[in-house]
Structure 1
């Protein structure tokens, strides 16, 4: 399952799963360089960033914002 990092507040990262449910993780568990809006998944017990998915999600969100502002 993939998660979206919704926000990082201190030592807690609030993530949203594919069903829209919120999950809290320790920020220290996140992969190096992870930031709000990144897609992450767990592989062999280690959190990883879905680089391609994160880029695509940001592109889609930017397109939606641009359409709203037109």
Structure 2
């Protein structure tokens, strides 16, 4: 399952699940350099940012936004 970082606070990160639920993680558990909008996946060694899926989603949002302002 993918988790999308919604917001990151000093101690807690709130992530949206694929089924639109919300979970809280300790911010210290996030991979170094993780930021809002990144897609997280759980792997045996811990959380990892899925760069490919993150970029795919960001590009999709960019295209939708561009279509709204054309």
Shorter-chain TM-score above 0.5? yes
Match of 1:9 in 2: 9
RMSD: 0.9
> Which whole-Å CA distance do the structure 2 matches of 1:33 and 1:44 have between them?
19
Displaced runs of 4+ in structure 1, greater than 6 A? none
Normalising by structure 1, we get a TM-score of 0.94
Match of 1:22 in 2: 22
Work out the number of aligned pairs and report it: 70
Q: CA deviation at 1:45?
A: 4.8
Q: Is 1:55 aligned to 2:55, yes or no?
A: yes
Match of 2:38 in 1: 38
Determine helix, strand or coil for the equivalent of 1:62: helix
Determine helix, strand or coil for the equivalent of 1:67: helix
Normalising by structure 2, we get a TM-score of 0.94
Q: CA deviation at 1:10?
A: 1.8
